[in-house]
Amino acid sequence: MAVMNATERKTSGEDLNSILEASEEDFWDSDEKQPINAKTLSGCIIQINGYRVLFGEGAIGDDDITSPFIDPNTNRQMYLMVESTIIDKRGQDKMYVLPDEHVTFEWNTSARYIVAKIFRMTDFGWFDNGKPPVRVLIKGTPIKNGKQKVEKLKSPDGAPLSVSYLTPDSPEPDEAPF
SS3 132: coil
Burial code (b: 16+ CB inside 10 Å, e: under 16) for 88-104 equals bbebbeeebebbeeeee
**What span, in angstroms and rounded, lies between the C-alpha atoms of 80 and 85?**
16
What does each C-alpha distance from 5 to 10, 11, 74, 101, 119 come to in angstroms? 10, 12, 23, 31, 30
pLDDT of residue 175: 42
Residue 105 clears pLDDT 70, i.e. is over it: yes
Top-confidence range, 55-64, 127-136, 163-172: 127-136
44-95 per-position pLDDT tens digit: 999 999 999 998 875 445 455 567 888 888 888 889 999 999 999 998 888 8
Mean pLDDT in residue range 90-111: 89
Question: Would you say 168 and 102 are in contact if contact means Cβ atoms under 8 Å apart?
Answer: no
117 sits in which H/E element: helix 112-123
